[in-house]
Every structure is written in structure tokens, then in C-alpha cells.
Amino acid sequence: MKNIFLLSLIIGAICFAQDKKINKEELKTIAPVVLHTDKKKEVKDGEMKQYYLVLLKRGPIRNQDSVTSAAIQKGHLDNITRLYNEGKIDMAGPMGHDGELRGIFIFNSDSYEEVQQLCSTDPAIKAGRLVVEIYPWWAEKGSKLR
């Protein structure tokens, strides 16, 4: 429960900093990808783990035609699914506005360098439609968002 509150504060602060409001109807049309696991984990109360919060921002190359941008988006979503199935991403999804901040990943990876490498496999990042900012982030081990 603590992590849901913390993530809500982070997302709220990001939206506030960008002076944008989340339009819930628009968010539904974006088809958010929210990933979580139902695996039960044995964890001591208060045990912390380092995750990586990745902010996906509007990239400098966004002049692709509609067919190309649709193919890039499909590859982006397929890559997220692959990383989730490999246990590397715990959560991912778009922002609810059309600002500079486009989405968030929460990686469950071993190192900053691994996160950089995994981000480089994303077609939207390769194409320059998105750029990333990576931040180490601590949360209670085994917690999940629902």
C-alpha cells in the first residue's frame, strides 16, 4: 500500500511539474500497458529493493509517416511484453496527456547498465521517437501495484 501511495505521488509530481492534467477518457484510448505479477514472495517486513524508474520522454525524431510510426509503436509494445515475460519490467504505461513525458517503466533489473542495454532494444527509442531518463528507485521488496 505504501508503494501505491509513493508511485501516485511521483506521477502526480511529474504531471504537476509539467502543468498538465490527466484526461481519463484520453488515457483509455492510449491503451495503457500495466504489468504486474501475482507471484507470492516471502519477504521480511520493510525489506527494501532497488528498482529503476525510467521516464520515457518525447524524442527528437518524430517525423515518421503514420504507417512507420504504427509499426514502431507495435514493436514498442511487443518489446515491453518481452521484457515483462523475461522478468525485467514490473510495470509500464503511458502518461495521460500529450506532454514531453510520454510514459514510465519500472525495471526489476540488476544494474543501471542492464537497464540502459534493455532500453536500447526498444524500437521507439532506437527510432528516436522516445528518449529515456533512468533513476535508481527503492521500494519495499515484493510489493506490487494493483
pLDDT at position 42 is 54
Higher pLDDT, 79 or 140: 79
| Mean pLDDT value of segment 30-38 | 38
Are 107 and 51 in contact, with CB atoms under 8 Å apart?
A: yes
Domain assignment present for 86 = yes
- Number of independent structural domains in the chain: 1
Q: Is 118 exposed, middle or buried (0-12, 13-18, 19+ CB in 10 A)?
A: buried
Domain assignment present for 34 = yes
Higher pLDDT, 82 or 139: 82
pLDDT at position 18 is 45
pLDDT at position 46 is 76
Task: Name the most confidently modeled range: 6-10, 36-40, 46-50.
Answer: 46-50
Domain assignment present for 102 = yes
Domain assignment present for 51 = yes
| Mean pLDDT value of segment 61-67 | 96
Domain assignment present for 63 = yes
Domain assignment present for 11 = yes
Domain assignment present for 145 = no
| Mean pLDDT value of segment 30-52 | 58
Query: Any idea which of 7-21, 66-80, 128-142 has the lowest mean pLDDT?
Result: 7-21
Where in 108-146 does DSSP place strands (E)? 130-140
CATH, residue 90: 3.30.70.1060
- Which pairs with CB-CB distance under 8 Å and at least 24 residues apart come from 57-60? 57/100, 57/101, 57/102, 57/130, 57/131, 57/132, 57/133, 58/99, 58/100, 58/101, 58/102, 58/129, 58/130, 58/131, 59/124, 59/125, 59/127, 59/128, 59/129, 59/130, 59/131, 60/128, 60/131
pLDDT at position 15 is 45
pTM of the model: 0.69
- State which residues form the domain around 34: 2-140
pLDDT in tens, 65-124: 999 999 999 999 999 999 999 999 999 999 999 999 999 999 999 999 999 999 999 999
